[in-house]
A and B are shown apart, each in its own frame.
Chain A
Amino acid sequence: MGESSEDIDQMFSTLLGEMDLLTQSLGVDTLPPPDPNPPRAEFNYSVGFKDLNESLNALEDQDLEALMADLVADISEAEQRTIQAQKESSQNQHHSASLQASNVSGAAPLGHGTNVAATGISPYENDLPPPPADPVLDLPLPPPPPEPLSQEEEEAQAKADKIKLALEKLKEAKVKKLVVKVHMNDNSTKSLMVDERQLARDVLDNLFEKTHCDCNVDWCLYEIYPELQIERFFEDHENVVEVLSDWTRDTENKVLFLQKEEKYAVFKNPQNFYLDNRGKKESKETNEKMNAKNKESLLEESFCGTSIIVPELEGALYLKEDGKKSWKRRYFLLRASGIYYVPKGKTKTSRDLACFIQFENVNIYYGTQHKMKYKAPTDYCFVLKHPQIQKESQYIKYLCCDDARTLNQWVMGIRIAKYGKTLYDNYQRAVAKAGLASRWTNLGTVNAAAPAQPSTGSKGTAQPNGQMPQAAHSISAVLQEAQRHAETSKDKKLALGNHHDPAAPRAPHAPKSSLPPPPPVRRSSDTSGSPATPPKAKGTGGGGFPAPPDDFLPPPPPPPPLEDPELPPPPPEFMEPPPNFVPPPPPSCAGTAGSELPPPPPPPPAPAPDSARPPPAVAKRPPMPPKRHENPGTPGGAGGGEQDFMSDLMKALQKKRGNVS
């Protein structure tokens, strides 16, 4: 072990170098490559938060535990193994601990909002190994803590090998991950692992699986800025990590998971946006009764042509004057190229219009209670600002409408102008997903049960973990992943390697997870799990994370090679749990699960694919895993914390060790 650990350290240092590169792009400083410990930190990415140190210091054991639980859930069994191995050589392997710590820290500060503690894991192998992986999966949630401890040093070496593989994969796929705390409408929260390639759609799909909600198209991720009193929904095609990385570290911003019928209102009743005769109020009633066929043709006409049609929208709105609390009424017009206003004494012909704002660099938000906050004439306000602006600034534009209907028309019109056909594509995907979901629920009652109602009921962190693993996810995820990734041969190879490994080490677990029973198990774990405590204690959670890093490093150190395959598999394990439904699927599920954790893509994709159903899913799943693996590799890139982050991680690690020991 000692040798291997050294090798690992070396690998880590090289990885760190890479990470630095990656992190630069992220805007976060990179840690010094030399430190062995730091390397792990690299894998973990904390995004957007300024005070890593603070956050780390501030971390409470509880927070750590919660995070750990989440992480554990996410991590595939393989990872867990690696973690365990690391724990065994706990001190040598700083990675895991540090990783966990870092993650935790990130999460803690966030508090209300989404926590962004990123951990990079290399769950890749999982997919391939279907059978082996499954066993692993079972362990993850509840067992994770114990397993790590129990695991033996022997395994550790094998893990080291796997780690090497994982490291390589990581390099290929430098993927940044965040742990995001999502607030549900029942005031509970769920923590999710989101990797930098995941779109809002993927995250939604992930949440669907965890919550067993009805999956209708109105569900959305919703960001709230308490300070500015603004909020908006994520568009399904938006990259979640990218959006979150604009948040400051001490932000109070939150991510919510809720239903908003405004999200796709235009596709349900296009006539309200395209055929609204503002001149005649009485026409409203008739408008709202448009038959389905006409709606369809109206949508077709507006969104399926060579270019989309932006609803004609114009009218007087109140504009908040820069830096003042006074509102001025102006006549605004919406065009595909931006919002314009009619200058004083001019007409509203195109040539006289003055540009108010173009949409390229701004997002649109609803303003809440601006009547109170800014003395707005009404509470129907919308706000345009650059996504990176987080505090009050003269660069934020506040507009106020006379009524809710006008507000919705403007917000939707601006979204159409800004996003174009993408919006319609998103909607169609959402519809497909919703349809799929309804079928799915019919198919598997088990899943529904598994879900995690318990988790929802239970409070925060613990629950999330339990839910994460759920099978439902995996299936959909698998499909999606398959589609998206059409991945490279590399992935496949990795996956293959993983399979072997996983099978060997965790064979026992795998079966359980894969089988239908798993769901229940998970739940139990979840509920109990809440197991947050166990994870914390284990620090293992952290360990789990570290494990991935280890994987990465290993490449150089040949010693552990054998196990390498195993390592990857672990992630799959997590994934697998979801698959619970069918025995055969389990492996595949596992794979998906694994993929979900590290690579965001899997979860979302899976649902989307038509073939989401179990049988097909199974077939597809195997391939998917590889892809995921690649993704996980990337995690290192995060580096949001950077230098400070590294030192913080070290501290956290030490702290953890102390706890563990």
Chain B
Amino acid sequence: MAGMKTASGDYIDSSWELRVFVGEEDPEAESVTLRVTGESHIGGVLLKIVEQINRKQDWSDHAIWWEQKRQWLLQTHWTLDKYGILADARLFFGPQHRPVILRLPNRRALRLRASFSQPLFQAVAAICRLLSIRHPEELSLLRAPEKKEKKKKEKEPEEELYDLSKVVLAGGVAPALFRGMPAHFSDSAQTEACYHMLSRPQPPPDPLLLQRLPRPSSLSDKTQLHSRWLDSSRCLMQQGIKAGDVLWLRFKYYSFFDLDPKTDPVRLTQLYEQARWDLLLEEIDCTEEEMMVFAALQYHINKLSQSGEVGEPAGTDPGLDDLDAALSNLEVKLEGSAPTDVLDSLTTIPELKDHLRIFRPRKLTLKGYRQHWVVFKETTLSYYKSQDEAPGDPIQQLNLKGCEVVPDVNVSGQKFCIKLLVPSPEGMSEIYLRCQDEQQYARWMAGCRLASKGRTMADSSYASEVQAILAFLSLQRTGGGGPSNHPQGPDASAEGLNPYGLVAPRFQRKFKAKQLTPRILEAHQNVAQLSLAEAQLRFIQAWQSLPDFGISYVMVRFKGSRKDEILGIANNRLIRIDLAVGDVVKTWRFSNMRQWNVNWDIRQVAIEFDEHINVAFSCVSASCRIVHEYIGGYIFLSTRERARGEELDEDLFLQLTGGHEAF
């Protein structure tokens, strides 16, 4: 044993004193001094430390961190000599898991304990297991952006911080489900709330906040984000992260494997949130039409989520819906399967009859709306000069199947018009129906919408459609539709819809709320029947369909070029983009790639493609480690196969993304 000494107190072995601080890296920390030799094993040292501290506590998570070498001493059978530790080593005896604050894709903050000693890849996998997100290889952590000089009134009126730091997950086994959520969430009301936060979409953000948040104004702005990715082969401690730091958890690789609404409620929701914020903060551009669809989906998702229909496991929803739809179809088909039934159904087919004002735009006519007697039966709209003539031939008869229905509504102006674009062999005929009030409008509108899809008012969805329209009208009354609307918009009232929370700020500038609302409503009619999970999936799919989807931008300088350019990294290709114009200069696909090499000294990445195409560039906006990891990561993700399930070949991943011992 180290520490033998003579009677006079001189040490006679080769032992020396080793000072170890207890706790996290804190200069003030208490310390213990041990007598050790170079032959001492780390395990023995740990034992001595605990003895010396002489405090009853669970020390099992503690390990020694060597500050100068930025290294954990995790090999307990290694000796101090083998590690090369001398008396001047600054060692800290601290917990390997420390609390951090995660900023989730949905922008909520969550406190939990993350491993500071394992490679980030494993640490993220553990976090994802805790959050029940499958396929953790698609996610990673970023450093939080440095806060710029805080503006006068520091925002963030103490936001709610969810806490999972006390939850400990048994290793190995997949968490079992209990009460519709992974068992470890059902311990307390607090953790339950946390699960709901994770698995349910958040309400739309305050439009004012949205305008304040930083948005990239150029491609080079978009490269900033990607300079903050942490290194997945090293641990948090090695990357200078401290306990209590804020980290962002994000989907890093845009290659979402086996997205399944049934088993992935949290993953799906967080992915949806990330997509939504991408769009709202203009990280990815879309067209006006696409934005309306995104807004409508958000509105719909929010509505479902607020109404608590989320409660049931999202997975069963689609199936049930399908079944319902099938049943209702069947109903229609079987209608009148017996003669008597037929008669009944004949007499009970719902129809609408009323005086409506009709306007048919024609060239060279100044006529406005004229009152007619309008009969709406099945999918056909007929109008007559007056009610008396109804049994006779109508002035015109329109089959609304396949037509376009566009609302033209101004609630405050009491204008309730339905614009119909009815296809016919000769072209499209345009007709406007003007209703007197909301009730009438909702009934006719719902009928028109169903008819345009070939369904009649006998359809089971008619009533809910009417309700949805009324609800939307009331939103316009309370929300963005008011005459007092300024581009900034009043805050959404409790139940009201503020369209500004659903679209990117540039559309806030471009349109008034009352212009946006009807367009969102119009788009909404196409998605109104979706379940929560379906709507989220649809949102994600639409996001994935954007041409710029899934491209991570890095500023680079190609060998031989004298100006900076942008390198876009997507899941299947590399794109060389002109920095100034944004045009794609050249695309290389990973499938043609032979090999890539990184010269860590000159920070240069060299890639060889088939047919002897060689590309080399140095990285400007981010370290070449990040580019290297992106490429390797996508290659790794492309090797995943369904058959292997969720098993991860971590070695392969690290092999593909690591290899920079030079650091």
Contacts and interface: CB of A to CB of B under 8 A. Distances in A.
12 contacts: A20-B346, A25-B378, A25-B456, A171-B342, A307-B541, A335-B545, A338-B289, A350-B286, A361-B404, A387-B423, A389-B424, A389-B425
Interface stretch (A178-186, A200-208, A293-301): A293-301
A23 B544 CA distance: 41
A391 B289 contact: no
A508 B425 CA distance: 50
Given A307-B545, A390-B426, 18 more contacts: A14-B342, A18-B336, A18-B339, A18-B342, A24-B378, A24-B456, A27-B380, A172-B337, A306-B256, A309-B545, A335-B290, A336-B545, A350-B546, A350-B548, A351-B506, A353-B287, A387-B402, A389-B423
Interface in A81-140: none
Contacts of B611: 286
B216 to A, nearest CB: 12
A168 B338 CA distance: 7
Judged by DSSP, the binding face of B is mixed
A11 interface: yes
Contacts of A393: 426-428
Interface in B329-378: 333-339, 342-343, 345-346, 349, 377-378
Nearest to B583: A348
Contact of A21 (B346, B424, B537): B346
Contact of A391 (B377, B425, B542, B589): B425
A150 interface: no
Nearest to A353: B287
Interface in B380-439: 380, 399, 401-402, 404, 423-428
Contacts of A307: 540-542, 544-545
A298 B334 contact: no
A388 B572 CA distance: 40
Interface string A331-356: 00001111010000001011101010
B426 A312 contact: no
| Residue of B293, B349, B378, B548 most packed against chain A (CB within 10 A) | B378
A349 to B, nearest CB: 6
A301 B572 contact: yes
A246 B426 CA distance: 11
Given A337-B289, A390-B425, A395-B428, A173 B333 contact: yes
B425 A248 contact: yes
B582 to A, nearest CB: 6
A326 interface: no
Nearest to A301: B572
B259 to A, nearest CB: 5
A358 B289 contact: yes
A174 to B, nearest CB: 7
A351 B287 contact: yes
A275 B401 CA distance: 39
- Cβ-closest 7 pairs across A and B: A393-B427, A14-B339, A336-B545, A390-B425, A350-B285, A307-B541, A388-B423
Given A18-B336, A388-B424, A306 B402 contact: no
Interface string B496-507: 000000000010
Given A361-B402, A389-B425, A171 B337 contact: yes
A207 to B, nearest CB: 27
Given A173-B333, A337-B293, A312 B547 contact: yes
B379 interface: yes
B342 A386 contact: no
Nearest to B423: A388
A393 B345 CA distance: 39
A310 interface: yes
A413 interface: no
Interface string A304-325: 0111111010000000000000
B310 to A, nearest CB: 21
Interface in B266-320: 285-290, 293
A598 interface: no
A24 B288 contact: no
B338 to A, nearest CB: 7
Given A294-B591, A351-B506, A27 B399 contact: yes
B425 A21 contact: no
Contact of A350 (B287, B333, B343, B424): B287
Contact of A171 (B336, B427, B587): B336
B454 interface: yes
A286 B610 CA distance: 12
A600 interface: no
A485 to B, nearest CB: 13
A355 B289 contact: yes
A17 interface: yes
Nearest to A634: B333
B116 to A, nearest CB: 34
Contacts of A353: 287
Contacts of A11: 339
Given A21-B346, A556-B339, A337 B545 contact: yes
A438 interface: no
Contact of A305 (B379, B542, B544): B544
Nearest to B347: A17
Interface residues of B, number: 53
Interface in A532-553: none
A394 interface: yes
Contacts of A396: 427
B346 A17 contact: yes
Contact of B334 (A172, A394, A556): A172
Contacts of A350: 285-287, 546-548
A434 B454 CA distance: 34
Interface string B210-248: 000000000000000000000000000000000000000
Nearest to B258: A306
Interface in B571-594: 572, 582, 587, 589, 591
A270 B571 CA distance: 18
Contact of B582 (A336, A340, A349): A349
B333 A174 contact: yes
A351 B334 CA distance: 49
A340 B288 CA distance: 11
Contacts of A347: 582
Interface string B526-555: 000000000001001110111110000000
A239 to B, nearest CB: 11
A386 B427 CA distance: 8
A388 B402 contact: yes
Nearest to B271: A306
A539 to B, nearest CB: 28
A18 B424 CA distance: 26
A75 B350 CA distance: 37
A118 to B, nearest CB: 18
Contacts of B456: 24-25
Contacts of A308: 545
Interface in A151-196: 168, 171-174
A248 B367 CA distance: 31
B424 A351 contact: no
B282 to A, nearest CB: 8
| Residue of B380, B404, B545, B582 most packed against chain A (CB within 10 A) | B545
A179 to B, nearest CB: 21
A17 B404 CA distance: 30
A351 to B, nearest CB: 5
A191 B85 CA distance: 92
Contacts of B424: 388-389
Interface string A558-571: 00000000000000
A96 to B, nearest CB: 21
A306 B287 contact: no
| Residue of B256, B336, B506, B611 most packed against chain A (CB within 10 A) | B336
B338 A171 contact: yes
B259 A306 contact: yes
A185 to B, nearest CB: 28
Given A335-B547, A391-B426, A17 B289 contact: no
B498 to A, nearest CB: 22
